[in-house]
Chains A and B, each alone.
Chain A
Amino acid sequence: MIPRFQELIDRHHDEIFVYLWRLLGKTRRFDVSLDVEDLVQEVFMRAYKRFSRLRPDSNYRAWLYRIATNCAFSRLRRAKIHRDKMALLETCVAGASESATDETSNGDLRAAVEQLSPKQKACITLRYFDDLDYSEIAAIVGCSTVSARANVSQAIRQLRVALKE
């Protein structure tokens, strides 16, 4: 049963915010168009426009995450941020070294996470923080279940390689 839209906001705002916060990662600090608050508002505005078309048996949580993912990918494409991974890596490493309390390994892992493609990052965030299964992740990022699983395992592999494990 799909809740009323106001309940959708109350129940899911926070997790959508945290998801987008993690998905944009440190890039959000370097581009004003990637303001997470703006993005969250855009997500709910888009959801509101399409809400009446949602079927009663829909997985509305996955639907909301899909809108959030599309909004984020679209902003990232416009900002062309993920096309220059080297520049991104530099800013991330610099950002990590700014924090005196960071452990080096955490900083490395952070930088490695930032190097992942937006789709990989979305997949691991949805898998490990939002506890969604692969079929839901596939529906959200717009790929097959096999591809969603592959994105997660490739991301984990990349992180391990980056940390030279």
Chain B
Amino acid sequence: MKLTPINDSEIKQRLGTAMDAPSVPQLSRSYARVREWFNQTAPFIQWDRMDCPLGRLFVGVSRQGLCAVDFGRDERAFLGRFDRQARLEKSPKAVSQAIAELREYFSGARKNFTLPVDLSALTAFQRSVLETACRIPSGQVWTYQRVAREMHRPKSSRPVGQALASNPIPIVIPCHRVIASDGSLGGYSGGSGIEAKRWLLRLEGVLS
């Protein structure tokens, strides 16, 4: 066996004969082992989507609870919000309870949600703001200032607004029930923005 004439394909062919390759079962076993390790290590997000009056709505749950609600965006943008190291799996079964409660909410049959939520990706302050927002009863609105006062941080209206804008679970955590002190609706980052906020407050009977 000679190495001349030397050209890439010739060398490749001869080296291929000399340098053996692993068998398919060896590859499969190793792949299964790596996937098993990954499945046990990576954060696990199961998700699905539903149609609602605000458009297509996506829901994601982690092992700890509901961690994502998104609407007014496409699937790629929704999946892109998760850590790239996380394991994602489309699973209607895993999010069935969340979707059932959301359907009841949109039909007017539900005022509050009973799902466990996962806010572990947020800072302590953001969590505290969102937990305070959860205390706002359906049919009422609080101002950003009121939320700050309830948290015993009366001068933190602006940070409160920023924390509400980072709400990963809109609708379920009712950040839409927080408005500006002058009575205007303030901001809303979900779906079509202020229009979506207005629609939700109308559904809850705050606006006519």
List chain B residues, Cβ under 8 A from A37. 26, 29-30, 33
With A48-B85, A52-B85 as contacts: A124 and B15 at CB distance below 8 Å: yes
- A51 adjacent to B85 (CB under 8 Å): yes
- A44 adjacent to B37 (CB under 8 Å): yes
List chain A residues, Cβ under 8 A from B15. 109, 113, 124, 128-129
Give min CB distance, A91 to chain B, whole Å.
15
- A36 adjacent to B30 (CB under 8 Å): yes
Contact stretch, chosen from B2-10, B57-65, B114-122: B2-10
Q: Is B202 an interface residue (CB 8 A)?
A: no
* In the complex, residue of chain B having the shortest beta-carbon distance to the beta carbon of A3: B84
Number of A-B contacts (CB under 8 A): 107
- A129 adjacent to B29 (CB under 8 Å): no
Alpha-carbon gap, A43 to B22, bound state (A): 18
Please pick, from A21, A41, A112, A129, the residue contacting B37 in the complex, using a CB distance under 8 A: A41
Please give the number of chain A residues whose Cβ is less than 8 angstroms from any Cβ of chain B in the complex.
39
- A45 adjacent to B27 (CB under 8 Å): no
- Contact code string A16-27 (vs B, CB < 8 Å = 1, else 0): 011001100100
Please pick, from A6, A25, A108, the residue contacting B87 in the complex, using a CB distance under 8 A: A6
List chain B residues, Cβ under 8 A from A3. 84
Interface residues of B in 123-163 (CB under 8 A from A): none
Nearest 8 interchain pairs by C-beta? A105-B1, A109-B18, A128-B12, A110-B18, A37-B30, A22-B19, A5-B85, A21-B22
List chain B residues, Cβ under 8 A from A103. 1
Interface residues of A in 4-43 (CB under 8 A from B): 4-6, 9, 13-14, 17-18, 21-22, 25, 36-37, 40-41
Give min CB distance, B13 to chain A, whole Å.
9
* In the complex, residue of chain B having the shortest beta-carbon distance to the beta carbon of A160: B3
- B31 adjacent to A45 (CB under 8 Å): no
- A109 adjacent to B1 (CB under 8 Å): yes
Q: Is B34 an interface residue (CB 8 A)?
A: yes
- A165 adjacent to B3 (CB under 8 Å): yes
List chain B residues, Cβ under 8 A from A159. 3
List chain B residues, Cβ under 8 A from A40. 30, 33-34
* In the complex, residue of chain A having the shortest beta-carbon distance to the beta carbon of B41: A48
- B42 adjacent to A36 (CB under 8 Å): no
Alpha-carbon gap, A36 to B86, bound state (A): 26
Alpha-carbon gap, A3 to B4, bound state (A): 41
List chain A residues, Cβ under 8 A from B11. 128, 156
With A14-B27, A51-B84, A165-B4 as contacts: A25 and B19 at CB distance below 8 Å: yes
Interface residues of B in 11-70 (CB under 8 A from A): 11-12, 14-22, 26-27, 29-31, 33-35, 37-38, 41-42
Q: Is B196 an interface residue (CB 8 A)?
A: no
List chain A residues, Cβ under 8 A from B26. 17, 36-37
- A18 adjacent to B31 (CB under 8 Å): no
Give min CB distance, B75 to chain A, whole Å.
14
